[in-house]
A and B are shown apart, each in its own frame.
Chain A
């Protein structure tokens, strides 16, 4: 058996004569290395750089920008961004799960069309969508008017310029990234598994918690990461839906590069953002590794 497996694996290799494929790979790799890797390294380098009198960046080794991150003004923004992003993840999960579940299990022959009806507009112009959403959430917008009409809101209720508004924006912006992996996981889920669950556990609620949820845990984990990454780096939602008290780390970065012209500080903030995201990614990878190891056992 070892011989067989070995031969069939290596067999493909020897006619392909690696050399030609290296040539295929080279332009793209060089491009990515030149533009992407180099540029990210540059951000790291500039984070420990300085500025001259005119505010132009200078290379060097100066930790003032990095030290500045400890300023409570910045840590507060970071904490707020984290809080917003995590809440966004949670709300997206709560919304996406029933929607994905309904489409995957009850969509019948329309399920592909339904999921396309969600995905297609979501990939269309983010900015215009967010702008439309801010109009919907505005004080005179259709949502608040409807809520006022049924008595769920009064004249003083506002959504915009609040944390709630920013989170609503983030959710609207990125909920699709939760729906896609959840839908994929639920569609893969064998319906007979749920039926077997009904037999074993009885009620649909118990079945859901003992059968459906564990089987889609990986989809949910992927969705959480996919939502967390862009939510953490977003600056549009806070700009359109929030006020001065709702700024996120993305707004700070934007400000340091465009208005404040403090590039080392902007770079340091960017690195800080990457660090947070990296920790999130590593957590996710460890989690899935563990899941895989358990599945193998």
Chain B
């Protein structure tokens, strides 16, 4: 009874709470939330469809007949696709190692070396970021043909490294710039040579960002098909190129299974990359993807 005994006191309080709420403009924006929900639904729908029909017991892409793993089994027994998977993994590993190695060094050099050569290199590095992949693809293909290098897995690796260096450099560059230069000086003060200072102090400080971008590069290269499409030979083509051909010339449902596996793999890797900086006690890295 005591709870409802003072209506005169609660009414003004409620009133003021309501005006405060109105003043702060915190009413739930129903239209905005509806649009956002619809956006998320459409964003995930294609992914869900591919995943769902990869488990379809029938060949249909429109009617789900029942759960089955037959397309995954088909993939596992498809020697050509498995060989392509191997090619893709090899390309991704090499591109990851090469671009992280070159990119980290380039980022260090670009931040620390303020010469004309440095600013020129900084400009060149931005080119792939503003060039559509089809242009880089065409250009790489022409270069290899011009140099007389037959197109193969090897040429895909070279092209992917070229494209990925920019990415690693952009991400690492901001990390290098954020480093305290006194730390390197401290190492030299304590008896380290310049190179030892870089190796013992600077590189460990860049490790989280380097690891994260390595994982990300692996995923991006594994998924990439435009560059691979233009620079691959006929030796087991990368998986993404196979998928491209399959999608263009009539779909076998096996592709749904491969696609689902690839999506799951790259989503896991990208999420891992975002999570890596946290493992080192730093704030997480959405900026890895936006390059800011």
Contacts and interface: CB of A to CB of B under 8 A. Distances in A.
The answer to whether A and B touch directly, with their CB atoms under 8 angstroms apart, is yes
B259 A106 contact: no
A205 interface: no
B244 A127 contact: yes
Given A36-B162, A194-B25, A277-B130, A25 B105 contact: yes
A interface majority secondary structure: helix
Interface string B120-150: 1100110110111111101111110110000
Interface residues of A, number: 92
Contact of A31 (B23, B102, B145): B102
Interface stretch (B8-16, B66-74, B282-290): B282-290
Interface in A119-148: 119-133, 135-136, 138, 140-143
Contact of B262 (A13, A116, A125, A281): A125
A121 B267 contact: yes
Nearest to A235: B134
Contacts of B158: 35
B219 A123 contact: yes
B183 to A, nearest CB: 12
Interface in B49-107: 49-50, 53, 61-62, 102-103, 105-106
Interface stretch (A65-73, A152-160, A250-258, A286-294): A250-258
Contacts of B125: 28, 32
A12 B184 CA distance: 11
Nearest to A18: B113
Nearest to A123: B270
B185 A15 contact: yes
Contacts of B132: 229-230, 232-234, 250, 273, 277
A140 B109 CA distance: 55
B47 A121 contact: yes
Contact of B284 (A39, A95, A112, A121): A112
A43 B139 CA distance: 6
B115 interface: yes
Nearest to B36: A102
Given A99-B39, A102-B29, A42 B146 contact: yes
Contact of B266 (A118, A124, A143): A124
Nearest to B24: A195
A250 to B, nearest CB: 5
Interface string A221-255: 00000000110111110011000000000100110
Contacts of B105: 24-25, 27-28
A135 B35 contact: no
B106 A98 contact: no
A128 B259 contact: yes
B156 interface: no
Contact of B45 (A128, A142, A281): A142
A172 B62 CA distance: 21
Interface residues of B, number: 97
Contacts of A220: none
Contacts of A281: 130
Given A123-B219, A124-B219, A235-B134, A22 B117 contact: yes
A28 B169 contact: yes
B266 A195 contact: no
A135 B46 contact: yes
Nearest to A256: B138
A87 interface: no
A2 interface: no
A28 B290 CA distance: 22
B32 A98 contact: yes
A128 B262 contact: yes
B206 interface: no
A202 to B, nearest CB: 11
A124 B25 contact: no
Nearest to A41: B139
B114 interface: yes
Contact of B127 (A36, A115, A257): A36
A194 B29 CA distance: 15
B159 A35 contact: yes
Contact of A36 (B102, B128, B181): B128
Nearest to A33: B124
A283 to B, nearest CB: 13
B240 A20 contact: no
A40 B117 contact: no
B25 A32 contact: no
Contacts of A39: 136, 139-140, 142-143
B117 A25 contact: yes
A120 B44 CA distance: 11
Given A43-B139, A106-B29, A132-B259, A21 B112 contact: yes
11 contacts: A31-B165, A95-B39, A99-B39, A112-B284, A119-B289, A132-B50, A230-B132, A233-B133, A253-B134, A267-B142, A273-B132
Given A32-B125, A36-B128, A180-B290, 15 more contacts: A13-B114, A18-B113, A24-B108, A27-B102, A35-B143, A102-B32, A125-B240, A127-B244, A129-B263, A132-B49, A140-B62, A194-B25, A229-B130, A236-B244, A266-B138
